[in-house]
Structure 1
């Protein structure tokens, strides 16, 4: 019996270590595929030191022939820049866009794997974790945009967000109106209006939060904010590799993904789960998680109502006025996405945006929430459309 256990664990360890990208950092993965890489540090107004990663051009071009303005890619909740580079180049969004001529900048928000420094606080200090998406939008986004424009000598750029990253773009432009002129277009992939209509596991979590809110509020007041995430990657790597790579047992992995994100598409490469879980989830603050619960429960995109960090000049609970977003918006969504449902977009997002701002809504059949950035055919179904839109827009600009 013991021999069987040892053999099984040995097989698991072999599976876990079989893909070198599991133990690589984002810079190492980019370099592995031969793309030019730069790392830059950006200091926000409130003292956080962010790392942003740059891919200056694709494999078949050079920096001197860059054809497109820069594009900033903003990841989803509990993710960092790794979500854009975890597949081979033909289905990794950052590499797809670099090969199309973009100057790609990958965002890493405060508290995530690659942005854990502050002028005054360490991550072991609870004061470090006193932030929510309010600060992401107000400080992180604006600092990175200004840094990129100064670095590239451009006056405007493109914005691509996935999930939470889309929300941050809307929040920023609704309150920092001058940044609307700095965004040529926003490509919003799986944008949650409020996540109020989420299905599956997220729906259950929201119901539990609603029932236990008095206890949650008490915990928040007494404990403050702290880190939420997984620091030791070895255990989830082994468990996921076993459940997702073993015949018959892999159905558990498929079922879990279905319950959380939506039905698995035929384009999702389940064999790369060990790579995905070696990089995700990243970390955020407990306040940020509570902020999302608040938004989903109230069905309103609003400022955090809890014990705030003091960085907001607005009353607590103030809703973001998305009618002030003026930059062109392109939305990509799917009816198979259980986190961002069609009802969420149609009722809690589109009616809030100014008429004429949304230039296109592209519905991708069969995609769940992660397929947009991880599916093997996302170049064809998502990013080729983005490239076509930008090429046309750039051609029109040059004609002026």
Structure 2
């Protein structure tokens, strides 16, 4: 499962010797690549058009409740086996939230989480912090769209404004958003930018921003207590309790560090 504003292509953009999907397939694994809703390979809907606001009315909560369990069930039904789960960034956030609620964890052999994400209050990248401060709940109304796509005029306009802030370097946008990456050179970034970023819902971006600002990993906050009560039966959104993840479940966490020099 890929990260936010990416799709399944992210596992295939390097050479076969460096792309994890190819490496796993060459090692004998049956590899299933997820594409979250709204991305290039997962844009159809049974009744809604992608130009409608209702189509984009979801946050990563919906990936936890609906999409990830459906994907795992689909794989299990076609293979009659429990798969290993592998996620990157927001793909790990969705998995951890699902595991904390007892979803899919009994249908998986293990989970490998690459650059795992849960609590975001420690984020230090300048552009990431600016985005977290910019994506307040009212932004959906201000932009007039529920889709967030960096390559559209609305998304590009937001980045243009953010790039004017001191400390941001939009000539090296990927580094300014994620931090220094020692595994990518300029040619690799050029290939990446031919296929990514992919659109996501503005609601998902707001939800990630809430996680950063509040320092709590919880469901989407509708801000108005009455709406939260209608959705959750309480004025504040319920928190995801990571301690509920079964202690015996094989869980591998990995992140990249800085190399010397």
TM superposition score category, shorter chain reference = 0.7 to 0.9
Offset of residue 218 of structure 1: 3.5
Give the match for residue 125 of structure 2: 200
Give the match for residue 137 of structure 2: 217
SS in 2 for 1:134: helix
Task: Determine whether 1:157 maps to 2:83.
Answer: yes
Where structure 1 has 5 or more consecutive residues not aligned to the other structure, the ranges are 1-73, 237-250, 337-364, 367-400
Q: CA offsets, 1:38-71, max 9 Å, x none? A: xxxxxxxxxxxxxxxxxxxxxxxxxxxxxxxxxx
Which structure carries more helix by proportion? 1
Q: CA offsets, 1:100-128, max 9 Å, x none? A: 11110111011111111111111111101
Structure 2 matches for 1:31-42, cutoff 5 A?
none
> How far apart are the structure 2 equivalents of 1:324 and 1:181?
13
Inter-CA distance 219–256: structure 2 relative to 1 (3 Å threshold) = closer
Counterpart contact for 1:126–1:224, Cα < 8 Å: no
RMSD: 2.8
Give the match for residue 305 of structure 1: 221
Alignment length, in residue pairs? 239
Task: Determine whether 1:167 maps to 2:93.
Answer: yes
Give the match for residue 106 of structure 2: 181
> How far apart are the structure 1 equivalents of 2:143 and 2:128?
26
> How far apart are the structure 2 equivalents of 1:278 and 1:311?
42
Offset of residue 206 of structure 1: 5.0
SS in 1 for 2:254: strand
Counterpart contact for 1:157–1:184, Cα < 8 Å: yes
Give the match for residue 162 of structure 2: none
Which segments of structure 1 move beyond 4 Å, counting only runs of 4 or more?
A: 221-225, 307-316
Give the match for residue 102 of structure 1: 29
Inter-CA distance 279–310: structure 2 relative to 1 (3 Å threshold) = farther
Structure 2 matches for 1:64-79, cutoff 5 A?
74-79=1-6
Decide which structure has the larger Cα Rg and report it.
1
TM-score norm. by structure 1 comes to 0.55
Which structure carries more strand by proportion? 1
Give the match for residue 252 of structure 2: 330
Higher relative contact order, chain-length normalized (CA < 8 Å, sep 6+):
2
Structure 2 matches for 1:246-395, cutoff 5 A?
253=171, 255-265=172-182, 267-306=183-222, 315=234, 316-326=236-246, 327-336=249-258, 365=259
> How far apart are the structure 2 equivalents of 1:231 and 1:151?
36
Give the match for residue 352 of structure 1: none
Offset of residue 173 of structure 1: 1.5
> How far apart are the structure 2 equivalents of 1:118 and 1:131?
13
